[in-house]
Amino acid sequence: MITNQKLKKSLEEIKNITSFDAILYSAKGKHLTGTVEEPEHSDIFVKEFIVSEEDVREKNDAIAFAVEIDSELEYVLVMFCPYTSENLVIGRMAVCQLRTLVLGESERYDRNNFIQNILLGNMLGSDIINRAKKLHIENRKRVVYVIDTGKNSNEIAVELAKNLADIRSGDFVVAMDEHNVVLVKDVEDIDSPKLQEKLSSIAGSLVDNLLAEAMIKVRVGYGNPTDVLPKITESYQEAKMALEVGRLFYVEKEIMAYDRLGIGRLIYQLPMSLCEMFIREVFGDEVPQILDDEEAMSTISKFFENNLNISETARQLYVHRNTLVYRLERIEKSIGLDIRTFDDAMIFKIATMVLAHIKDSRQGR
């Protein structure tokens, strides 16, 4: 539940204050971490101490202290110092520090585990309400962000998300799997007129910080705000759908909001039979091979970006206007659509999105 790295850091802080080295053992006498190499026969001393069920025991300028959590032995702290009343007080204070650290981590783990179970839909509404009361988690306006790290590990994303979150105010950061991190963000205090702008800004901060500090390019999707804990699972599903729609239809976008999915939302929910019927209606029985031509599709994409403006598209492609017109005429012959007109351009755009949906469905995603 708590890492040895955090335990070691705590022992190092104790040493900086007291100048005494220390080693921490598990309740079964296993060496966990310390500020010094384990002396010979120390493990025997610790195991004898565990069997004795004493709170404190001294041997050869080493004092063993029991670190109990809920009246159960959790760790054994061995401090290397003379056995004096003053050092006993120091040792007991060190035990208190370790106990506080463990309890804090335990509570944080319980809260995150609770939120994770809500996100996954593993809890009933009544159970959520009862458990939330015990963990002192209130109903507040929250939004779920899903950070997709692609092929990168999520470890750095988790830490950076925590830096951007305010854990004390009700934010939660949960690693859902090795490539996806969820930030449940408290937005209770954000004014409604500025809410959408702020939600987008938070997503932008996640994208920018991960790229700047860890050189990781991520995509972020987020759902709609919700006022009650049981419904954050809906915001989570919305955030996942936003990412999925973005992956299929808006590859160039790094941030996807569930309430800004546009026509992609409609196409994503179309049945395959209807999609295939539409493609046959547009292209006939065979999809034009030019759709696999990188140069042709790049030309079309740039043409659409410039709102069907031939002169501006030619300038950005560094080609003569007549050259671009020739390319567009060749594309028209291949696909049977004159994308220089609004209606045909719209049909072609929708058709390419539908084809992406069909291909993705056939790959079983």
**pLDDT one-digit tens code per residue, 15-47:** 999 999 999 999 889 999 999 998 888 888 989
Count of the separate structural domains present in the chain? 3
With respect to residue 115, please indicate whether it lies within any of the assigned structural domains.
no
- State phi, psi for 215 to the nearest 5 degrees: 55, 35
Those residues whose C-beta lies under 8 Å from the C-beta of residue 164, and which sit 6 or more positions away, are 183, 202, 205, 206, 209
pLDDT over threshold 60, residue 365: no
The band of 226, judged by pLDDT with boundaries at 50, 70 and 90, is very high
Per-residue model confidence (pLDDT) at position 345: 93
C-alpha distances out from residue 145 to 24, 54, 161, Å: 38, 49, 10
Pick the range with the lowest mean pLDDT from 47-56, 107-116, 212-221, 283-292: 107-116
Which has the higher per-residue pLDDT, 92 or 3? 92
How far is Cα 91 from Cα 81, in angstroms, rounded to an integer?
Answer: 10
Q: What percent of the chain has pLDDT over 70?
A: 96
pLDDT over threshold 60, residue 159: yes
Q: Model's pTM, two decimal places?
A: 0.67
Q: Are 216 and 157 in contact (CB under 8 A)?
A: yes
How far is Cα 114 from Cα 133, in angstroms, rounded to an integer?
Answer: 12
CATH code assigned at 335: 1.10.10.2840
Residue 352 and residue 291 share a domain? yes
Beta bridge partners of 147: 181, 220
Residue among 150, 198, 143, 192 nearest 171 (CA): 143
Range of the domain at 333: 270-362
Last residue of a domain, one of 245, 265, 285: 265
Mean pLDDT in residue range 134-154: 85
Three-state SS for 143? strand
Residue 259 and residue 274 share a domain? no
With respect to residue 112, please indicate whether it lies within any of the assigned structural domains.
no
Residue 159 and residue 82 share a domain? no
With respect to residue 340, please indicate whether it lies within any of the assigned structural domains.
yes
pLDDT over threshold 60, residue 167: no
Q: Are 64 and 76 in contact (CB under 8 A)?
A: yes
The band of 281, judged by pLDDT with boundaries at 50, 70 and 90, is very high
Residue 144 and residue 55 share a domain? no
Residue 342 and residue 226 share a domain? no
The band of 120, judged by pLDDT with boundaries at 50, 70 and 90, is confident
pLDDT over threshold 70, residue 144: yes
One-letter amino acid identity for 107?
E
The band of 316, judged by pLDDT with boundaries at 50, 70 and 90, is very high
Q: Are 289 and 330 in contact (CB under 8 A)?
A: no
Last residue of a domain, one of 83, 101, 119: 101
pLDDT over threshold 90, residue 274: yes
Cα of 168 vs its chain's centroid, Å: 18
Task: Report how far apart the first and last C-alpha atoms of the chain are (Å, whole number).
Answer: 34
Mean pLDDT in residue range 247-268: 91
How far is Cα 258 from Cα 260, in angstroms, rounded to an integer?
Answer: 5
Last residue of a domain, one of 214, 235, 265: 265
How far is Cα 230 from Cα 245, in angstroms, rounded to an integer?
Answer: 25
The band of 312, judged by pLDDT with boundaries at 50, 70 and 90, is very high
Per-residue model confidence (pLDDT) at position 143: 93
